[in-house]
Structure 1
């Protein structure tokens, strides 16, 4: 290679390697090729319906994201699967075994904890539930919902054992209150289609009156004791429009279903999952009423159990700009080391080529030296010179055959070999001539 071209070639090799590293890094992070394992929640539960809708939309919107469903027996098992690192995402309910390593990606649903009373009930607060019977709708979450009731009773110093539970199909709850078999009904559901609205409707139909909601005036204080709850204002007419139920705004409690990820999930991944959910909410709502109940977590809310994941918080605070900033950050984290590695490889290649060039130069110099030595050598010395000469020639031929010696350097070596051979042959002739 002519002098001056080697550094230029090394430079362009380094540039090429940097470009390849940058392209690969950008492609890797912008192409969402990933497999996410996610719990589905108990069968036939609101959580399972929400996740099924989410998986359907994500699979259509992001064909390179593969979502693998992991069925679990209940909400406790869902939380434990995340703690045990068996899944990447889990559906949890804040009042049921919140995972210690969980951080919120999205709120899938907010359920009001409602104790529904027939019109004109003498029960005015939770303490009045002592020694009464409460109807509980049968369903996949009836055990979890009864634990919610136990916590409310515990706050008001009402022994849980003193309150009887009557688990009934939804359509029988109204008749149970009308006949006096139950004094109230427990309902855990959203403001909208769900269990709370259905329980109010069946009681209103059976009793021919507007049901009432038991107010939780101490909800703010209860949340401090049971952080799985949230205080909420239930607006008038939330569960029935005419006559309105409740008749006026009532203080209440709520629990939330959340899609959570471990805190070890990269910010850019958590942000991408949250972005996918919030950007496709309209599609989710069109497929299922559960989609309309999805909401972004409140960044100002202090939830010690399941705080917002930093990646989602950054996206919610700054939108797509934050998301692409995160991509850029990971590009630098991966791209720069790769480019440095490429530059190092280019330098090593240059050093290797320089070493081979020096070897070639030394070989030529040695051939010239052998030629000079041969002119005055005696018989023994000439034999030694000829032996070394043959070794050098064999080495040159082998390197040329293996591609280690380029054809561009062959003419110089060939001239040196020819010069050394002529000197050896001349000295042989002189020694034979005596």
Structure 2
């Protein structure tokens, strides 16, 4: 990993972002391709999906709507230890997701005048689960459970057909779906799956969804952008990011292990350490080199850590470290600080904040109970991670009786006339004239 020394400089947020640029070129290049793939599915349906499966997944003549027996077979073959872990993860995510559903609120504006704020679930959701460099049953949980807690009636799931599984969706994905009671599953992947969910595919009985969610590569993220406005989407979850803020008391071995844990996802993954301790920076660099060489996906890790999107950043003090983190707005933020609990309140822009030595990002990936589908690319400045609220719509229900309407009658008429919309006022007056 390269080291960037920002000490002794007065930097704007833009300067800080320029110091560690994100891997954006691949996303930009993916948008045109993803848009064409989505449009192809919209126009040609199943034919396009099958051509895309042959081209990208090397699968032909597979069953796109997954038969119930495939799902049952996968659950029956699931290793007991993995099933127990998935069951526990489901339990924990359900508890945390339940706290994300707002209670109905009734506001009394005046006598006989109320506004009820209620949260309505969307009717139908499409969940995408990637299947490229890794298998993600945890993402099944992270997407399906919040939708279920929100009260969504229909949840469909898509994941790429696997060449080494005879064109079936990976069995661990199917087993996780079975544990959650999901029966509508499709073997389709990438941007094509996003297009299919957004526009529907009548040939295979797939109806359009109202909201689609789930992580994926740059083509999946770009496809979400292409269908925005047709359906609701969660954040464009691109290549994973971890930013660690650490002081001189941090354990360099743990910091290095956590940087590597996210770098193994993808060559474009971002791993950034921000510290005011040159000694810690040096020790982390040594441990990263040692541990990265020994891990299973060492080549992928090396590519991510050596890329321009990853770095060890030296800053003057805690204030500068906090400013850098808030400007960067990472997907995952770890705080390896002596006063981590107290300091957490000052770190305001991050998809999720992991506090202290014993709260690594990988805990959040699986068992913390928090959701691991989080905003990347700086979207944490304005966008949340996935939650039950992703599948809810706030809705106002207004109720006025005659007396309450009479109280504001003249005001409504006056404003309507000012805006040269007299029929608005006439609609009020009609209620008080014979």
- Tell me the TM-score normalized by structure 2: 0.27
* Higher relative helix content: 1
Q: Which structure exhibits the higher relative contact order, with contacts defined as CA atoms closer than 8 Å and separated by 6 or more residues? A: 2
- Tell me the TM-score normalized by structure 1: 0.27
